[in-house]
Amino acid sequence: MNSIAMVHQIHTYTDLRRQIHEDLRSQHPEWIQPNGESPLCDSYEARLMKTLQRLNHGERSNSFDAIATTWSNDGAG
């Protein structure tokens, strides 16, 4: 599979969320329902935002632990 990585400058939290939203949908078009909704993409976005919020609030001293814990507890695997 050939893919071209595109670099986008992220300046704000809103830019990051928008980029994640767009990238998930472009990388996984099979997740998009005919009505344009994507519960799977929405789930991944929500879990990532939850992880970023935990990291931002310093709930964990080790960011890798925080990410692993969040994804494990949310059923990722």
Report the alpha-carbon distance of residue 9 to residue 37 in Å, rounded.
26
C-beta neighbour count of 70 within 10 angstroms: 20
DSSP three-state, residue 10 = coil
Comparing 5 with 26, the larger pLDDT belongs to: 26
| 59 half-sphere exposure, CB direction, 13 A CA radius | 14
**Per residue in 45-71, pLDDT tens?**
888 888 888 877 765 555 555 555 555
pTM of the predicted protein model: 0.56
- Length of the chain measured in residues: 77
